[in-house]
Amino acid sequence: MFYGEHEHSIDRKGRLIIPSKFREVFKENYVERFFVTRGLDTCLFVFTEDEWKKQENRFRALSFTSSEARQFNRIYFSGACEVTCDKQGRILVPQYLKDFAKIKSDVVIVGVSNRIEIWGKDIWAEFYRNAKDSFEKIAENVFGQEAAE
């Protein structure tokens, strides 16, 4: 559904233009609103409303007696906000989410199949630099486990 890397900037008012390819997906799938929250690896996760409901049901099923599950859910859901695109295809990214992801102005918007990730440009560059050399080994580990199941 969402694929590719796109460089953009957040304007002075905290607005970010969603790449046109992603807006086309929204339009084709009648998506009007979506959710932004704290992600993993110092980025933000963006989900369509349908995908958000799937994630919410999955995380709601975690045992509230587990301190790790409670901690995760608190951080994940307390950071969530509902957003819609304006007529120019922009969303407003709250300051607390920009602070979490260490986003100043320049960002990389990454399509990761069922979600979009928003990264500070420098953080993405560091992540990519560190991960690209181990990409094949990670694939072997991930898909090797899948084959064993």
- Say how many domains are in the chain: 1
What pLDDT score does 100 carry? 97
What pLDDT score does 32 carry? 87
* Residue 126 is assigned to a structural domain of this protein: no
What pLDDT score does 147 carry? 53
What pLDDT score does 1 carry? 87
The tens place of each residue's pLDDT in the chain, 149 residues long, gives: 899 999 999 999 999 999 999 999 888 888 889 999 999 999 999 999 999 999 999 998 989 899 999 999 999 999 999 999 999 999 999 999 999 999 999 999 999 999 999 999 999 999 999 898 888 888 888 888 655 55
Q: Which domain holds residue 50?
A: 2-120
CB 8 within 8 A of CB 16: yes
Report the 10 Å Cβ neighbour count for 55: 18
HEC profile for 29-60? CCCCEEEEEECCCCCEEEEEHHHHHHHHHHHH
Structure tokens at 21: 């390819």
Q: Which residue has the tokens 């409670």?
A: 70
Distance CA 130, CA 124 (A): 10
* Residue 148 is assigned to a structural domain of this protein: no
* Residue 41 is assigned to a structural domain of this protein: yes
* Residue 7 is assigned to a structural domain of this protein: yes
Provide the CATH number for the domain around residue 82.
Answer: 3.40.1550.20
What pLDDT score does 146 carry? 57
